[in-house]
A and B are shown apart, each in its own frame.
Chain A
């Protein structure tokens, strides 16, 4: 499916994939988002060496409207509703700005939390003293 539009000089088509990539990039640049989650199919595609920019994104594009589903992993310690709101706004703005489609829905699916690696006890630069001098 692609969005089609008649301009005075011809028709304009925007592929679903494009909307997906715009949404994926807009979502990942939001602070607090650790990454997108592609599921098993996405995992296989990635394994075969295909870098997928629209990973974890599902879009439905109609004639003038678009709905987006985003599957995300959030960082530990942030407020999820706040991040969700930021993503929704950012994605909506990005798609509407770049394609002119009306974004009616941005559904967020939080699939997991990314915990930072356990902090090392020793501070950097606090290396164990040399045993021999």
Chain B
């Protein structure tokens, strides 16, 4: 869980606790909450600030939830005599990303996964100039296949490569 998530969650918990305590106090005849509510009728800034904070917290929680639901839950399962080994999609794409980035001539990569069994990878690559693209694509495909075979122990059925850009040379031409 990300650090920010934890901070936000603890803030939410504190806010809810305080409100709970205040509500409880009100039930037992304490007027603190009521007084304060009356006060924000006159001092509008307090009220707006509170509303803003609560809206932001709610928004963040919703985003967290959406993110959680959107996360690809698929995994590659292999059976062993002692139980299943499940490797989830994020692990695979993270590994592939690092491996592709390490190949000479590749500037940047986006990895997405089509089918899981058999595994089908889609790579979008941004290349450095002065490389023969078909050859480089073939190198990428072969090294990913070998890499996954070695590290994850799975066969890759398909590695689709899309080249979406060639980075222009950074150095100014001196001709």
Q: B5, B75, B83, B153: which contacts A105 (Cβ < 8 A)?
A: B83
Using Cβ atoms and an 8 Å threshold, which residues of chain B touch A64?
Answer: none
The residue of chain B having its C-beta at the shortest distance from the C-beta of A81 within the complex is B153
The residue of chain A having its C-beta at the shortest distance from the C-beta of B10 within the complex is A47
A109 touches B86 (CB 8 A): yes
Using Cβ atoms and an 8 Å threshold, which residues of chain A touch B87?
Answer: 80, 110
Using Cβ atoms and an 8 Å threshold, which residues of chain A touch B98?
Answer: 76, 113, 115
CB distance from A93 to the nearest CB of B (A): 11
A80 touches B152 (CB 8 A): yes
A107 touches B90 (CB 8 A): no
B78 touches A40 (CB 8 A): no
The residue of chain B having its C-beta at the shortest distance from the C-beta of A37 within the complex is B1
**Size band of the interface chain B makes with A:** 20 to 34
A47 touches B9 (CB 8 A): yes
Known: A92-B82, A108-B85, A111-B91. A47 touches B152 (CB 8 A): no
Given contacts A67-B83, A113-B91, 17 further A-B contacts (CB under 8 A): A43-B1, A43-B5, A76-B95, A78-B151, A80-B151, A81-B85, A88-B82, A88-B83, A103-B82, A108-B83, A108-B86, A109-B88, A110-B87, A110-B91, A111-B90, A111-B91, A112-B94
List 10 tightest A-B contacts by C-beta distance, closest first. A43-B1, A81-B153, A105-B83, A88-B82, A110-B87, A107-B83, A84-B85, A108-B85, A109-B86, A106-B83
